Homo-oligomer: A and B are copies of this chain.
Amino acid sequence: MLYLIGLGLGDAKDITVKGLEVVRRCSRVYLEAYTSVLTVGKEALEEFYRRKLILADREEVEQEADNILKDADISDVAFLVVGDPFGATTHSDLVLRATKLGIPYRVIHNASIMNAVGCCGLQLYKFGETVSIVFWTDTWRPESFFDKVKKNRQNGMHTLCLLDIKVKEQSLENLIKGRKIYEPPRYMSVNQAAQQLLEIVQNQRIRGEEPAITEETLCVGLARVGADDQKIAAGTLQQMCTVDLGEPLHSLIITGGSIHPMEMEMLSLFSIPENSSESQSINGL
Protein backbone atom coordinates (compact mmCIF):
# COMPACT_ATOMS: atom_id res chain seq x y z
CA MET A 1 0.00 0.00 0.00
CA LEU A 2 1.16 3.53 -0.79
CA TYR A 3 0.21 5.95 1.95
CA LEU A 4 0.13 9.68 1.17
CA ILE A 5 0.25 11.35 4.56
CA GLY A 6 -0.25 15.03 5.30
CA LEU A 7 2.00 16.46 8.02
CA GLY A 8 0.04 19.62 8.66
CA LEU A 9 1.72 22.98 8.91
CA GLY A 10 3.55 23.46 12.18
CA ASP A 11 5.95 20.93 13.62
CA ALA A 12 6.44 17.18 14.13
CA LYS A 13 3.39 16.85 16.38
CA ASP A 14 0.99 18.15 13.74
CA ILE A 15 0.82 14.72 12.13
CA THR A 16 -2.38 12.84 12.96
CA VAL A 17 -2.32 9.88 15.33
CA LYS A 18 -3.39 7.69 12.39
CA GLY A 19 -0.60 9.10 10.23
CA LEU A 20 2.00 8.53 12.93
CA GLU A 21 0.96 4.92 13.39
CA VAL A 22 1.33 4.29 9.67
CA VAL A 23 4.72 6.06 9.48
CA ARG A 24 6.06 3.89 12.28
CA ARG A 25 5.13 0.65 10.58
CA CYS A 26 5.95 1.37 6.92
CA SER A 27 9.00 -0.26 5.38
CA ARG A 28 10.14 2.98 3.71
CA VAL A 29 9.17 6.58 4.48
CA TYR A 30 9.76 9.40 1.97
CA LEU A 31 9.55 13.10 2.81
CA GLU A 32 8.50 15.34 -0.05
CA ALA A 33 10.96 18.19 0.07
CA TYR A 34 10.19 20.61 -2.70
CA THR A 35 6.92 22.41 -2.25
CA SER A 36 6.84 23.41 1.36
CA VAL A 37 8.65 23.37 4.67
CA LEU A 38 7.71 22.87 8.27
CA THR A 39 9.09 25.10 11.00
CA VAL A 40 11.24 22.13 12.04
CA GLY A 41 13.75 20.18 9.97
CA LYS A 42 14.00 16.57 8.83
CA GLU A 43 15.97 15.58 11.94
CA ALA A 44 13.23 16.74 14.31
CA LEU A 45 10.70 14.72 12.34
CA GLU A 46 12.92 11.65 12.38
CA GLU A 47 13.39 11.90 16.10
CA PHE A 48 9.71 12.24 16.85
CA TYR A 49 8.56 9.64 14.31
CA ARG A 50 11.41 7.34 15.35
CA ARG A 51 11.96 6.63 11.66
CA LYS A 52 14.64 7.40 9.10
CA LEU A 53 13.18 9.62 6.35
CA ILE A 54 14.29 9.56 2.71
CA LEU A 55 14.20 13.05 1.22
CA ALA A 56 12.45 13.15 -2.15
CA ASP A 57 12.88 16.32 -4.13
CA ARG A 58 10.95 17.18 -7.27
CA GLU A 59 13.42 15.47 -9.59
CA GLU A 60 13.27 12.26 -7.65
CA VAL A 61 9.51 12.16 -7.42
CA GLU A 62 9.20 12.81 -11.14
CA GLN A 63 12.10 10.70 -12.38
CA GLU A 64 12.36 8.01 -9.79
CA ALA A 65 8.76 7.42 -8.87
CA ASP A 66 9.34 3.77 -9.62
CA ASN A 67 11.90 3.63 -6.81
CA ILE A 68 9.43 5.16 -4.41
CA LEU A 69 6.77 2.68 -5.47
CA LYS A 70 9.08 -0.35 -5.45
CA ASP A 71 7.51 -3.29 -3.61
CA ALA A 72 4.61 -1.10 -2.47
CA ASP A 73 2.33 -3.87 -3.70
CA ILE A 74 3.71 -6.25 -1.10
CA SER A 75 4.81 -3.84 1.63
CA ASP A 76 3.77 -0.44 2.98
CA VAL A 77 5.46 2.73 1.77
CA ALA A 78 4.70 6.20 3.12
CA PHE A 79 5.07 9.47 1.24
CA LEU A 80 4.93 12.43 3.61
CA VAL A 81 3.78 15.81 2.43
CA VAL A 82 3.79 19.09 4.36
CA GLY A 83 0.19 20.27 4.63
CA ASP A 84 -2.19 17.92 2.83
CA PRO A 85 -1.25 15.57 -0.05
CA PHE A 86 -3.94 17.20 -2.19
CA GLY A 87 -3.57 20.76 -0.92
CA ALA A 88 -1.70 23.50 -2.73
CA THR A 89 0.25 20.92 -4.73
CA THR A 90 -1.47 17.74 -5.78
CA HIS A 91 0.36 14.48 -5.90
CA SER A 92 -1.94 13.04 -8.53
CA ASP A 93 1.03 11.93 -10.64
CA LEU A 94 2.27 9.57 -7.93
CA VAL A 95 -1.24 8.21 -7.32
CA LEU A 96 -1.78 7.60 -11.03
CA ARG A 97 1.54 5.79 -11.37
CA ALA A 98 0.74 3.63 -8.37
CA THR A 99 -2.68 2.79 -9.77
CA LYS A 100 -1.18 1.79 -13.13
CA LEU A 101 1.17 -0.56 -11.29
CA GLY A 102 -1.75 -2.08 -9.43
CA ILE A 103 -0.62 -0.62 -6.11
CA PRO A 104 -3.45 0.45 -3.82
CA TYR A 105 -3.13 3.81 -2.08
CA ARG A 106 -4.62 5.68 0.83
CA VAL A 107 -4.61 9.33 1.76
CA ILE A 108 -4.31 10.49 5.36
CA HIS A 109 -5.42 14.09 5.28
CA ASN A 110 -4.27 17.05 7.32
CA ALA A 111 -4.58 20.80 7.41
CA SER A 112 -3.10 22.67 4.47
CA ILE A 113 -2.62 26.37 3.87
CA MET A 114 -5.72 26.10 1.63
CA ASN A 115 -7.99 25.66 4.65
CA ALA A 116 -5.89 26.87 7.59
CA VAL A 117 -5.99 30.47 6.31
CA GLY A 118 -9.51 30.50 7.71
CA CYS A 119 -7.87 31.28 11.07
CA CYS A 120 -7.74 34.97 10.15
CA GLY A 121 -11.53 35.05 10.24
CA LEU A 122 -12.24 35.40 6.52
CA GLN A 123 -14.77 32.79 5.49
CA LEU A 124 -13.29 29.97 3.42
CA TYR A 125 -16.35 29.55 1.25
CA LYS A 126 -15.88 33.12 0.02
CA PHE A 127 -12.45 32.48 -1.49
CA GLY A 128 -12.18 32.46 -5.28
CA GLU A 129 -9.39 31.04 -7.40
CA THR A 130 -6.06 30.74 -5.59
CA VAL A 131 -3.10 32.40 -7.31
CA SER A 132 0.65 31.97 -7.08
CA ILE A 133 2.99 34.94 -7.01
CA VAL A 134 6.47 34.14 -8.31
CA PHE A 135 9.76 35.95 -7.78
CA TRP A 136 10.30 38.43 -10.56
CA THR A 137 13.63 38.53 -12.33
CA ASP A 138 15.10 41.30 -14.46
CA THR A 139 13.65 39.70 -17.56
CA TRP A 140 10.58 37.79 -16.34
CA ARG A 141 7.92 39.81 -14.58
CA PRO A 142 4.62 38.00 -15.12
CA GLU A 143 1.43 39.92 -14.37
CA SER A 144 -1.10 37.48 -15.77
CA PHE A 145 -2.21 36.15 -12.35
CA PHE A 146 -3.54 39.63 -11.65
CA ASP A 147 -6.55 38.95 -13.91
CA LYS A 148 -7.63 36.25 -11.50
CA VAL A 149 -7.42 38.63 -8.55
CA LYS A 150 -9.53 41.05 -10.54
CA LYS A 151 -12.14 38.42 -11.36
CA ASN A 152 -12.30 37.31 -7.74
CA ARG A 153 -12.79 40.87 -6.55
CA GLN A 154 -15.45 41.55 -9.16
CA ASN A 155 -17.32 38.60 -7.67
CA GLY A 156 -16.73 39.72 -4.08
CA MET A 157 -14.33 36.83 -3.43
CA HIS A 158 -11.12 36.82 -1.42
CA THR A 159 -7.91 35.72 -3.14
CA LEU A 160 -5.35 33.54 -1.43
CA CYS A 161 -1.90 34.27 -2.88
CA LEU A 162 0.63 31.47 -2.43
CA LEU A 163 4.10 32.98 -2.40
CA ASP A 164 7.05 31.59 -4.31
CA ILE A 165 9.40 29.03 -2.83
CA LYS A 166 12.74 28.40 -4.53
CA VAL A 167 14.56 25.32 -3.32
CA LYS A 168 17.30 23.41 -5.15
CA GLU A 169 17.58 26.31 -7.56
CA GLN A 170 20.65 26.48 -9.80
CA SER A 171 22.32 29.69 -10.94
CA LEU A 172 22.20 30.16 -14.71
CA GLU A 173 25.93 29.51 -14.83
CA ASN A 174 25.73 26.26 -12.88
CA LEU A 175 22.73 25.19 -14.92
CA ILE A 176 24.57 25.76 -18.23
CA LYS A 177 27.67 24.00 -16.98
CA GLY A 178 25.56 21.13 -15.66
CA ARG A 179 26.89 21.55 -12.15
CA LYS A 180 24.52 20.34 -9.49
CA ILE A 181 25.32 23.21 -7.17
CA TYR A 182 22.24 24.77 -5.63
CA GLU A 183 21.52 28.27 -4.38
CA PRO A 184 20.31 28.77 -0.81
CA PRO A 185 16.52 28.36 -0.57
CA ARG A 186 14.44 31.51 -0.97
CA TYR A 187 10.93 32.14 0.28
CA MET A 188 8.92 35.14 -0.85
CA SER A 189 7.83 37.40 1.99
CA VAL A 190 4.53 39.26 2.23
CA ASN A 191 6.56 42.47 1.80
CA GLN A 192 8.00 41.31 -1.51
CA ALA A 193 4.63 40.08 -2.77
CA ALA A 194 2.96 43.38 -1.83
CA GLN A 195 5.69 45.37 -3.56
CA GLN A 196 5.29 43.35 -6.76
CA LEU A 197 1.53 43.82 -6.58
CA LEU A 198 1.90 47.58 -6.19
CA GLU A 199 4.22 47.66 -9.18
CA ILE A 200 1.56 45.91 -11.26
CA VAL A 201 -1.02 48.44 -10.03
CA GLN A 202 1.27 51.27 -11.13
CA ASN A 203 1.94 49.65 -14.51
CA GLN A 204 -1.79 49.38 -15.08
CA ARG A 205 -2.28 53.06 -14.24
CA ILE A 206 0.47 54.00 -16.70
CA ARG A 207 -1.34 51.99 -19.36
CA GLY A 208 -4.56 53.83 -18.53
CA GLU A 209 -6.28 50.75 -17.07
CA GLU A 210 -8.21 50.88 -13.85
CA PRO A 211 -6.51 48.47 -11.44
CA ALA A 212 -8.68 46.01 -9.52
CA ILE A 213 -6.86 46.85 -6.29
CA THR A 214 -5.13 49.92 -4.92
CA GLU A 215 -2.68 50.86 -2.17
CA GLU A 216 -5.71 51.01 0.16
CA THR A 217 -7.12 47.51 -0.54
CA LEU A 218 -7.54 45.51 2.66
CA CYS A 219 -5.15 42.56 2.78
CA VAL A 220 -4.09 39.95 5.31
CA GLY A 221 -0.53 38.76 5.69
CA LEU A 222 0.02 35.40 7.35
CA ALA A 223 3.25 33.79 8.48
CA ARG A 224 3.94 30.28 9.79
CA VAL A 225 0.24 29.43 9.97
CA GLY A 226 -0.33 26.65 12.47
CA ALA A 227 2.99 27.11 14.24
CA ASP A 228 3.41 28.37 17.80
CA ASP A 229 4.77 31.70 16.60
CA GLN A 230 2.20 32.21 13.84
CA LYS A 231 1.64 35.84 12.90
CA ILE A 232 -1.29 37.48 11.18
CA ALA A 233 -1.52 41.12 10.14
CA ALA A 234 -4.51 42.83 8.59
CA GLY A 235 -4.03 46.15 6.84
CA THR A 236 -3.79 47.92 3.52
CA LEU A 237 -1.72 46.62 0.63
CA GLN A 238 0.60 49.56 1.28
CA GLN A 239 1.08 48.43 4.88
CA MET A 240 1.84 44.90 3.67
CA CYS A 241 4.99 46.31 2.01
CA THR A 242 6.60 47.00 5.38
CA VAL A 243 4.88 44.86 8.01
CA ASP A 244 7.32 42.56 9.77
CA LEU A 245 6.03 39.00 9.86
CA GLY A 246 9.35 37.30 10.51
CA GLU A 247 10.51 33.98 9.16
CA PRO A 248 8.87 32.02 6.27
CA LEU A 249 6.48 30.67 5.11
CA HIS A 250 4.30 33.64 4.26
CA SER A 251 0.95 33.87 2.50
CA LEU A 252 -1.08 36.88 1.47
CA ILE A 253 -4.82 37.33 1.16
CA ILE A 254 -6.37 40.09 -0.93
CA THR A 255 -9.86 40.59 0.44
CA GLY A 256 -12.85 40.56 -1.85
CA GLY A 257 -14.25 43.98 -1.17
CA SER A 258 -17.49 43.04 0.56
CA ILE A 259 -16.60 41.84 4.02
CA HIS A 260 -19.06 40.42 6.52
CA PRO A 261 -19.17 42.25 9.88
CA MET A 262 -18.04 39.07 11.66
CA GLU A 263 -15.08 38.78 9.28
CA MET A 264 -14.21 42.40 9.94
CA GLU A 265 -14.41 41.93 13.68
CA MET A 266 -12.02 38.97 13.46
CA LEU A 267 -9.62 40.92 11.21
CA SER A 268 -9.60 43.75 13.73
CA LEU A 269 -7.88 41.36 16.17
CA PHE A 270 -4.94 41.40 13.79
CA SER A 271 -4.96 44.99 12.60
CA ILE A 272 -1.60 46.70 12.26
CA PRO A 273 -1.22 49.40 14.92
CA GLU A 274 -1.06 52.99 13.66
CA ASN A 275 2.44 54.33 13.08
CA SER A 276 3.95 50.89 13.33
CA SER A 277 5.33 48.34 10.95
CA GLU A 278 4.92 45.65 13.59
CA SER A 279 2.10 43.17 13.27
CA GLN A 280 0.31 41.80 16.25
CA SER A 281 0.84 38.15 16.80
CA ILE A 282 -2.22 35.99 17.10
CA ASN A 283 -3.78 36.08 20.57
CA GLY A 284 -1.67 39.12 21.33
CA LEU A 285 0.91 36.70 22.71
Q: Residues on A close to B: CB < 8 A?
A: 6, 8-18, 20-21, 84-88, 90, 92-93, 95-96, 99, 104-107, 109-112, 114-116, 118-119, 121, 123-132, 151, 155, 157, 162, 225-226, 262-263, 265-266, 269, 282-285
Which of A111, A116, A130, A132 has the most chain B CB atoms closer than 10 A to its own CB?
A111
Do B21 and A96 touch (CB < 8 A)?
no
Which of A86, A131, A226 has the most chain B CB atoms closer than 10 A to its own CB?
A86
Which of A13, A96, A109, A110 has the most chain B CB atoms closer than 10 A to its own CB?
A109
Chain B: which residue is nearest A11 at the CB level? Answer: B18
| Shortest distance between the CB of A103 and any CB in chain B (Å) | 9
Instruction: Please provide the 9 A-B residue pairs with the shortest distance between their CB atoms, ordered closest to farther.
Output: A86-B118, A109-B111, A125-B130, A115-B115, A13-B18, A13-B17, A104-B283, A109-B116, A114-B115
| Shortest distance between the CB of A107 and any CB in chain B (Å) | 5
Complex formed: what's the CA distance from A123 to B114 in Å?
Answer: 11
Complex formed: what's the CA distance from A87 to B111 in Å?
Answer: 10
User: Could you tell me the dominant secondary structure of chain A's interface residues?
Assistant: mixed
| Shortest distance between the CB of A146 and any CB in chain B (Å) | 15
Q: Inside 8 A of A123's CB, which chain B residues have their CB? A: 90
Which of A11, A127, A282 has the most chain B CB atoms closer than 10 A to its own CB?
A127
Do B18 and A124 touch (CB < 8 A)?
no
Complex formed: what's the CA distance from A16 to B16 in Å?
Answer: 4
Do A15 and B13 touch (CB < 8 A)?
no
Q: Inside 8 A of A110's CB, which chain B residues have their CB? A: 8, 16, 110-111
Do B265 and A92 touch (CB < 8 A)?
yes
| Shortest distance between the CB of A149 and any CB in chain B (Å) | 13
| Shortest distance between the CB of A248 and any CB in chain B (Å) | 18
Q: Inside 8 A of A18's CB, which chain B residues have their CB? A: 10-11, 13-14
Complex formed: what's the CA distance from A106 to B119 in Å?
Answer: 10
Do A14 and B13 touch (CB < 8 A)?
no
Complex formed: what's the CA distance from A263 to B18 in Å?
Answer: 27
Chain B: which residue is nearest A1 at the CB level? Answer: B283
Complex formed: what's the CA distance from A111 to B115 in Å?
Answer: 8
Do B14 and A266 touch (CB < 8 A)?
no
Chain B: which residue is nearest A107 at the CB level? Answer: B119
Q: Within the complex, which residue of B14, B16, B93, B125 is in contact with A88, where a contact is CB–CB below 8 Å? A: B125
